[in-house]
Amino acid sequence: MLEQVPRFDMTRPPARQHLRLLMRLLCAPSLIAHRNRLEKVGMEGVRPPYLLLCNHNSFMDFTVAIKATFPHRTNFVVAIDGFIKREWLLRLIGCICKRKFTQDLMLVRQLRRVVQRGDIPVIYPEARYSLCGTTAVLPESLGKLAKLLDVPVVTLICHGHHVNSPFWNLPDHKLKGTEAEMTCLLTVEQLRSMSHEQVTSAIEKAFVYDDFAWQKAAGKVISYPRRAEGLHKVLYQCPYCGTEYRMTSEKDRLRCASCGKTWRMTELGELQAEEGETEFTHIPDWYEWERANVRREVEEGTYRFEGDVRIDALPNARGYIDLGAGRLIHDAEGFTLTGRSDGEEFTVSIPVPVLYSVHIEYDYLGKYGDCVDLNTLRDTLYVYPAGSDFSVTKFALATEEMYQHYWRQKRGPAE
Concatenated DSSP letters of 272-323: EESSS--S-SSHHHHHHHHHHHHHHHHHHT---EEEEEEEEE-SSTT--EEE
The neighbour count for residue 150, using CB atoms within 10 Å, is 13
Backbone CA torsion sign across 155, 156, 161, 167: negative
pLDDT 10s digits, 52-92: 999 999 999 999 999 999 999 999 999 999 999 999 999 99
The domains found in the chain, sorted by start residue, are 20-210 (3.40.1130.10), 231-300 (no CATH), 305-411 (2.30.29)
Please state the length of the chain.
Answer: 415
pLDDT-derived band at 415, boundaries 50, 70, 90: very low
Share of the chain above pLDDT 70, in %: 99
What is the Cα–Cα distance from 393 to 283, expressed in whole angstroms? Answer: 14
Q: Which residues contact 241 (CB under 8 A, 6 or more apart)?
A: 256, 258, 259, 261
DSSP states of 53-65: EE--SSTHHHHHH
Residues 3-28 have pLDDT tens digits of 789 999 999 999 999 899 999 999 99
Q: Please say if the pLDDT value at position 1 is more than 70.
A: no
Q: What is the pLDDT of residues 255-287, one digit of tens each?
A: 999 999 999 999 999 999 999 999 999 999 999
pTM here is 0.96
